[in-house]
Structure 1
Amino acid sequence: MLFFCLLVLDSFTRCFKSNPPEPWNWNVYLFPLWCCGLVIRYLIIFPIRILVLTLGWIIFLSFFIPVHCLLKGNDDLRKKIERCLVEMMCSFFVASWTGVVKYHGPRPSVRPKQVFVANHTSMIDFIILEQMTAFAVIMQKHPGWVGLLQSTILESVGCIWFNRTEAKDREIVARKLREHVQGANNNPLLIFPEGTCVNNHYTVMFKKGAFELGCTVCPVAIKYNKIFVDAFWNSRQQSFTTHLLQLMTSWAVVCDVWYLEPQNLKPGETSIEFAERVRAIISHRAGLKMVPWDGYLKYSRPSPKHRESKQQNFAQSVLRRLEEK
């Protein structure tokens, strides 16, 4: 019984574990090269990247603030310019990591009654996709400077925020989703149906909300190459600021993005089956392993009494089967 419980626990927790690369500076010949790389990354490349990101913010805010304040009477023009500015700022972010991103498939178009869904490794997934197309994303509300950007700049592209600890937020978000996909001029809607960051080796269960909207679902597969840095954001162990610093002090962020064939609900297919079919398409394209876990379990731990009760029930069922034999 203990072995079974440990096996299940390991199968779940390994989806959310950071897997640092094995050290290669293990002998006297390689250690000097590692030290040279450390000096180059932290004392040369990192300051240049800080300068690039600072320049990006100066350019962005110099245009965004006047456009947002002075064009309130012309919403169509304002939204169009703000979309371009958000895409530009995301490009500066990617440049600050020396991002090498390969996009495969046709660029998303603005059409009503469609939603894009993607596997989720880090909040930078949004930035990488946003630099090509100004998506309106569904995202957990964050504190600090990230929350400030969410409530000011990102709301200009129609992003929708929620708090997973508030049950009433689910109904509000569901209503906003339906309203958004009906709008002809709204930005394409992007959803990460796993609901949490997974370490880019697995995909956990997709929430069915994106598949109950009665619209076309466009799968997007994202796969990061760990040759230079592990792009997985382990939010339980590090802040997003620390995660960004890790990316900015690495050699590069390398990844592939595939825009896959749009999918529609088949006759007789449930929303859960539809979600699993799309998850299989994304997992196959990105080379990820599908596991049957709910990602929200990452944020909740069962009480010891509940765990012991389940263990006792399982042990009793095993003993009964052994006695019958």
Structure 2
Amino acid sequence: MAGILSLVWFIGSVLVTPFLVILLCIVFLASIGKSLGVRRLYVKLLLIIFEYGRANIETAQKQAHRNEDSDDDEITAPNNNTADELKDKLIKPPNGIKKPNNGYVPNDNSVISRDDKLILLPEPLQKKDESGEITETKDEYKEYYLSSIFDYLKAGMEAIIEDQVTSRFEAEELKNWNLLIRTNRRYEFISWKLTAIWVCGFFVRYFFLFPLRVTICFFGVWWLTLCTALVGYVKEGNFKQKLNKYVSIMCFGILSNAISSVITYHNEENKPKSGICVANHTSPIDVLILMCDNCYSLIGQSHGGFLGILQRALARASPHIWFERSEVRDRHAVANKLKEHVSNPKNPPILIFPEGTCINNTSVMQFKKGSFEVGSVIYPVAIKYDPRFGDAFWNSSKYSMMQYLYMMMTSWAIVCDVWYLPPMQQEEGESAIDFANRVKSVIAKQGGLVDLVWDGQLKRTKPKKEWRERQQEEFSKRLKIE
């Protein structure tokens, strides 16, 4: 019995000791704001492995195509032109397009081509003359034919087949396999070398990285709760603000190791110091990514349970804004608290995601105008994730928070770029909606994202009745002579 216990103790110490050493190193490096660069070397190694896998897959596909062509040459057909033409149509797709395997169509290649002039937008575009004033259309109608509606019927059918909204709430499709995403192509069994790499990667992710990341996550949450609670007892003043910023960056730096994040910050001279910081929204970890480099105040609905304990601990150390459930939809209450917060220059910048929902890292959707009505300086921030190492997008209608965290912790890493953009202010005579759209276009351009006018809440709710009525009115105007 004693021998068995000693064996268990020995095995446990062998397994636990490396985890404790790594955890202590992570905490120490995060506390002094330094990094050994191990994660960046790890990412470079992954890129080499991905490139090797891509080369193997392309070689196997070329060999398969050659085998198919040789089989096609052996097919005999009747000696008449009709049979030959039929054979060509069946075997070779038109216009030299390769047949997709298993019905696979990449997301970046649209199935249909649209005429942008026929897309009815949420807010009908009004024509402006050279002076910038809105011009009214004439009330003269062109002659109407039944065929006048065909283009609009075509645009409607195209929207049903492939609209611009629902495609933004599906995982971004990768051009090359990263030994991670689930696929029906069975890439991992193309060659024995690729199979060996895939098996090794599976064991590394699930039997080393995953338990290590879970340990770091639990420790990081406990450490964040403890540190912020202690900071809350410090007397108000400049010292408390500096201490809170240091503790916040340190604790979130530890938590970022739970997803092996590799973050590159650009243009740090534009980093927010006060006011309102707005960013595009891909994932709940957007907060984690930004808090690793700066201290922000957060805004959101108050919760109970464990999350409530964490919120109260954060609120002791820094002036966050937590709303009761009854206040969330009260726009005036939200605006008043925002104005109160930004009126004090000593408060940290408040972090807001104006889209109100997570988008799949390919586009930016409509910004809510609330945060742009406060009259404060806006600090735009663009966040772009590299999907080759892990998909950061959270599809809340498909995965729970625990499932999402599980997928994050079993990914290779979370690699992203963050751009701090120059501060922007509302111009004279500019409406809050126009200001929000101007900020949105700047973020989309910097992050290489598609700038869309649609409201992201359309994934949960039907279009408003007013929208349908506006589109009917706009359709009638387009039949007038301009």
**TM-score in same-fold range (> 0.5):** yes
Q: Hey, which of these two has a bigger chunk of strand by percent?
A: 1
- Asked if 1:97 is matched to 2:248, the reply is no
CA 1:283–1:302 in structure 2 vs 1: closer, same or farther (change >3 Å)? Answer: closer
Structure 2 Cα separation of the partners of residues 238 and 142 of structure 1 = 20
Q: Any idea what SS the aligned residue of 2:454 has? A: coil
Query: How far is the alpha carbon of 1:168 from its aligned partner?
Result: 4.3
1:162–1:169 contact (8 Å) kept in structure 2: no
Structure 2 Cα separation of the partners of residues 182 and 239 of structure 1 = 37
Query: How far is the alpha carbon of 1:278 from its aligned partner?
Result: 1.0
- Where do 1:286-297 residues align within 5 Å? 286-297=447-458
CA 1:275–1:61 in structure 2 vs 1: closer, same or farther (change >3 Å)? Answer: closer
Aligned residues: 309
Matching residue of 2:276: 115
Matching residue of 1:249: 410
Let me know the Cα RMSD of the aligned residues. 3.1
CA 1:11–1:142 in structure 2 vs 1: closer, same or farther (change >3 Å)? Answer: farther
1:118–1:222 contact (8 Å) kept in structure 2: yes
Structure 1 Cα separation of the partners of residues 280 and 307 of structure 2 = 21
2:172–2:387 contact (8 Å) kept in structure 1: no
Q: Any idea what SS the aligned residue of 2:330 has? A: helix
Matching residue of 2:365: 204
CA deviation vs aligned residue, 1:62-110 (integer Å, no higher than 9, x gap): 4333333x43xx1224454333322222111211111110000125253
Q: 1:44 aligns with which of 208, 214, 220?
A: 208
Q: Any idea what SS the aligned residue of 2:382 has? A: strand
Which consecutive residues of structure 1, in runs of 5 or more, have no partner in the other structure? none
Matching residue of 1:269: 430
- Asked if 1:33 is matched to 2:197, the reply is yes
Structure 2 Cα separation of the partners of residues 267 and 49 of structure 1 = 50
Query: How far is the alpha carbon of 1:39 from its aligned partner?
Result: 0.6
Query: How far is the alpha carbon of 1:3 from its aligned partner?
Result: 5.5
Structure 1 Cα separation of the partners of residues 326 and 226 of structure 2 = 36
CA 1:191–1:61 in structure 2 vs 1: closer, same or farther (change >3 Å)? Answer: closer
Q: 2:287 aligns with which of 119, 126, 130?
A: 126
Query: How far is the alpha carbon of 1:135 from its aligned partner?
Result: 0.7
- Asked if 1:64 is matched to 2:228, the reply is yes
Worse-superposed segment, 156-165 or 221-230: 156-165
Query: How far is the alpha carbon of 1:297 from its aligned partner?
Result: 2.2
2:382–2:419 contact (8 Å) kept in structure 1: yes
Worse-superposed segment, 182-191 or 18-27: 18-27
Aligned-partner residue type, residue 439 of structure 2 = V
Q: Any idea what SS the aligned residue of 1:190 has? A: strand
Aligned-partner residue type, residue 45 of structure 1 = L
2:297–2:350 contact (8 Å) kept in structure 1: yes
1:138–1:192 contact (8 Å) kept in structure 2: no
Structure 2 Cα separation of the partners of residues 187 and 262 of structure 1 = 15
Query: How far is the alpha carbon of 1:243 from its aligned partner?
Result: 1.5
CA deviation vs aligned residue, 1:194-245 (integer Å, no higher than 9, x gap): 1111111011111112222222211100000001111011111112222122
Percent identical pairs in the alignment equals 37
1:163–1:169 contact (8 Å) kept in structure 2: no
Aligned-partner residue type, residue 38 of structure 1 = F
1:20–1:230 contact (8 Å) kept in structure 2: no
CA deviation vs aligned residue, 1:105-150 (integer Å, no higher than 9, x gap): 1252534xx3211111011111110111111123355676445423
Q: Any idea what SS the aligned residue of 1:214 has? A: coil
Structure 1 Cα separation of the partners of residues 312 and 173 of structure 2 = 34
Structure 1 Cα separation of the partners of residues 304 and 460 of structure 2 = 17
TM-score scaled to structure 2, two decimals?
0.58
CA 1:67–1:14 in structure 2 vs 1: closer, same or farther (change >3 Å)? Answer: same
Matching residue of 2:114: none
Structure 1 Cα separation of the partners of residues 213 and 293 of structure 2 = 21
Q: 1:16 aligns with which of 169, 172, 184?
A: 169
Query: How far is the alpha carbon of 1:28 from its aligned partner?
Result: 3.7
TM-score scaled to structure 1, two decimals?
0.83
Aligned-partner residue type, residue 169 of structure 2 = F
2:172–2:361 contact (8 Å) kept in structure 1: no
Which consecutive residues of structure 2, in runs of 5 or more, have no partner in the other structure? 1-151, 178-182
Aligned-partner residue type, residue 230 of structure 2 = P
CA deviation vs aligned residue, 1:236-292 (integer Å, no higher than 9, x gap): 111222212211111110000000111122233222111111111100000000111
Structure 2 Cα separation of the partners of residues 181 and 160 of structure 1 = 12
Matching residue of 1:179: 340
Aligned-partner residue type, residue 195 of structure 2 = F
CA 1:146–1:270 in structure 2 vs 1: closer, same or farther (change >3 Å)? Answer: same
Mark the structure with the bigger radius of gyration: 2
Q: Any idea what SS the aligned residue of 1:96 has? A: helix
CA 1:119–1:242 in structure 2 vs 1: closer, same or farther (change >3 Å)? Answer: same
